[in-house]
Amino acid sequence: MSSSNETRTSIEIAEEIKKQANTLFAEKKYLKAIEEYTKAIELNPNVPAYYTNRAQCYILTEGYGAAIM
């Protein structure tokens, strides 16, 4: 049985995924970054930065309609 210290919360996992997405963004891999930001949003929908970062990716891929959703 794992202790509570070993159990990662969805908030922590979402932050790790966001970091991966940020790396993809820096590498201009916008479509992959969108996927990762979406995963982070699904785990923790209460962080505005996940939405704005994903929107920026949509804008850079000319997915303007998706950027506002």
Q: For residue 42, what are its two tokens?
A: 């699904």
The pLDDT, as a whole number, for residue 2 is: 46
pLDDT tens across 2-36, in order? 444 457 899 999 999 999 999 999 999 999 999 99
Instruction: Assess if residue 54 is contained within a domain.
Output: yes
The pLDDT, as a whole number, for residue 6 is: 58
The pLDDT, as a whole number, for residue 65 is: 78
Residues 4-39 as b or e (16 or more Cβ within 10 Å = b)? eeeeeeeeeebbebbebbeebbeeeebeebbbbbbb
| Torsion sign (Cα): 10, 69, 37, 53 | negative
Domain encompassing residue 33? 10-67
What CATH code is carried by the domain that includes residue 35?
A: 1.25.40.10
Contact 54, 18 (CB under 8 A): no
| Domain count of the fold of the chain | 1
Whose tokens are 């998706």? That residue is 66
Q: What is the pTM of this model?
A: 0.84
